[in-house]
Chains A and B, each alone.
Chain A
Amino acid sequence: MMPVPKTHRNRILAIAIAVAVVIAIVLVAVSYLTRDGADETTPVVTTDTVATETVAPDTSTAVALVAGIPQKGTVLGKAGTTVRLLQFEDFQCPVCKRYTDDALPALINEYVKPGLVRIDFRGLTFLGPDSEKALRIALAAGLQNRLWEVVGLFYENQGTENSGWVTDALIDRILGEVPGLDAAKVKVDAKSPAVTKQIAATQAEATALNVQGTPWFYVGVGFRPPYSISPLPLEPSAFRPALDGALKG
């Protein structure tokens, strides 16, 4: 092929670069301007999330509380949120139930729903066999991004410690209350090595972070390692200073 004259080539190059840069800038502008578009125009529908803004009248409080909020695994809240609240808990811990009843709804409404904070569930099993049985079901539901409904429902039905209250009938009832959940798959996944590994990883994380009981809370901001907070009493007002502070950076 005949070489193109240099001046002509330079002109083509300048035009091509200008076009490429303009296209890149347009892509940047579109990306930036549409970053929240999906959240504004659709009822929080993602490929792997429960996405029902409309809650059936007979839906339990636990299910209604998290309806329409994106979930992924153990995380409740919009991805890309830089502040996260890690909560270590045990399904048999009465104080965890009190926190779930008294503080969590306000935290979800004030911080998670507006996309300010993500809450990350960390389940421990130190109280006994019922803790582990419930946790396995919750984590298996997390594989379908429905963990938070199950967490709330277990606390709603919390029984006496290690009395065998996490019965198969209770599990069936709880799983039946979660919209869009494949209950049969949850029961299979609950016994899977993946769930066992997740439980062990959380235990190791709790040891590394020096978790001293449940519920135990940490706040993580961006890349920085999470730091422990001690919100007492377990009411929304005790969490607000830590979360507001984290949001300010």
Chain B
Amino acid sequence: MSATVTERAGGGARGVVGTRMLRREDPALLSGEAQFVHDLSVPGALHLSVVRSPHAHARVLEVDLSAARECPGVVAAFSGRDLLGEWAAPMPCAWPVTADMQTPTHYPVALDEACYVGDAVAVVLAESAAQAQDAAASVSVSYEVLPAAVDLADAASDRVLAHDASETNRAYIWELAPDAAAVERAFAEAAVTVSERYVQQRLIPAAMEPRGVCVVPQPFGGDFTVYSSTQIPHILRTMLGITAGVPEGRLRVVAPSVGGGFGSKLNVYAEELLCLALARRMRRPVRWTEERSEAAQATIQGRGQIQQIELAADAEGHVQAVRVHLVADMGAYLQLVTPGIPILGAFLYHGVYDVPAYSFTCTGVFTNKTPTDAYRGAGRPEATYAIERAMDALARRIGVDPAEVRRRNFIAKDKFPYASSGGLLFDSGDYDAALAGALELADYEGLRAEQAQRRAQGSAKLLGIGLSSYVEMCGLAPSRVLASLNYAAGGWEAATVRMLPTGKVQVVSGSSPHGQGHETSWSMIVADKLGVSPEDVDVLHSDTAVSPFGLDTYGSRSLSVGGTAIAMAADRVVDKARLLAAHRLEVAPEDLDLEAGTFSVRGTPSRAVALGELAFAAFTAHDLPDGMEPNLEAQATYDPENFTFPFGTHVAVVEIDSDTGRVDLVRYVAVDDCGNQVNPLIVEGQVHGGIAQGVAQAMWEEAAYDEAGNILTTSFADYLVPAASELPSFTLGHTVTPSPSNPLGVKGIGEAGTIASTPAVVNAVVDALAHLGVHSMEMPVTPERVWRAVDAARRTPTGGTS
């Protein structure tokens, strides 16, 4: 069922692209009819329960499964050693960022050493989920508890080793220093330098649907169908094949409705491998559904960095160099792209500013905690946070308004395409326009006046205004660039467009949605290309049997890479249809116009043939031009030449209760530029969710651990995901600077809100407190942190100057 209520965004343009078409995905999601992995009814399935280490670091001395095997309904129970023969290779890491990167061997179930709280040490299979869980409690494991490397800075010192057999916790050191001498020179000559240290706390991705897997052996031929709540059915199929030793052609991976991922389902997980290997071993379907508290340990976490950023500027605040040293928390093991996440931000620590000299170093460090990996923005929110907070620090140092220091440093509009000192080519931008738009929407002057008035009156309600101007690189990714970064795959995307005999259209997408609205957007693009109604376009995806090639959905890539492939395939269908139309109308192909799904002869519009008729003619193949193959179908694979670079400015306004430290976000303005917009309604939805998620990092969320490495935030009572009641209504604006990098002129908007909003909020908090002498503030900005900062500043009367 699809609803196509539309409302023109701009007016004037023909077709549906650019209109606020309602998402065709939503009726099933809102009515509960959408089927997630857990909803699948699979008769005869065994239920997997995973026994996890309660220690952050321990030697596994003995795993006693005898009691568990006697429990009602239990069919089998295994230790890590029992399953070693199932694996053709350890769990995969696809991004060895340096040649000498240390990669601890990682099996789905640990063999002799458990390296984080949640590391699997045994599994139980039973006839029901309840029986499996009951029996798991009967598994008796003897441990020798080892010292744990928990705190990131401490782990970096190698005082305690996260892996007993290793010599260092260092996974790698990755450097980007195109001209180190220029950086040194800039700092030596700088009139002003700023040196700041920030901590990116770990975050739990907390997708609405936890992970789930169900593997069904097919009755004949040794094939397996893998249902998984994943962002990456294609990559998963390849990696399952390699790791479990199953010929890839015998695996079909299906991602049914997927309830969010935010990067956490861009991975190959132990439970996916276990369900496959155990289905093979037991010759029965095997399934597993993650529990919410289990997800706090067993699903990757985001962020986890200590950032040192230095700016060298002249007396007017023109930044001449940026120097960054990161320590990045890998967690206990390298998951699929763990080591590469900080590197995705490596090129962007100078932000939207025209900075001539740049250097970046990242040290990846193992700790005895859940592995980190991609989380909405992946490296770019961290980069934006550091530069945007440092720019505010610079503004305070030279006594200039934060908006002004940004204006002075923006890459000018006429410098695009802009070759950055980090080595990227920024495609297009107008950063001044986005800042100006945001300041106007926020009534920035009025806010500053109110702030001054409140301070003059000594109001207990402190007002803070925070800015964040951002640029991100997305549309992952040009394959040749990925090769230069040692990533193990390419970055292209594949699509097929075919017309069925009745004139209906099927689109096959290699990108795999989990909430983004691909079906709606792809149908709009193809509808306009072919001149048909969007309702006549079906979009097939997320099943490797239907869509054999694809590189899936992450990194704000689906529209700029996958959408481009779809547009190219649709163009090829039109090209072929044009030849057939010319044949039937007996004119030259170039004498035909295509409008509203009909080819007509230029100057003689009565001589026309509709695309639907051509589809039927191509199907019957009774009268095709010589050499033309039957059917209207085309495939396209698009490998982008460059990333795309969305940008914008966000403004956060906070009110702080100086008695309690409570921070209320009272106003939020975002002006984003993602190039051309296919569906502004979907763009707004992405911006709304992205802002909420970034604000959450600033104010509420933290995966907290105790000193022994136990995670403390295992439920939504302790891990504070904000609800609508915590957030103001957002004021959104847009500028449109098309990307020259792809024919659609689009950029990507899935991560932008998350990237921009975190520093905007923390800058607003510091802005509210700076006059009291508070300049540093860690995340999340809890009321207690704010109260302590204010209290400490009050006790230090001289702290008011800086």
A, B from the same assembly? no
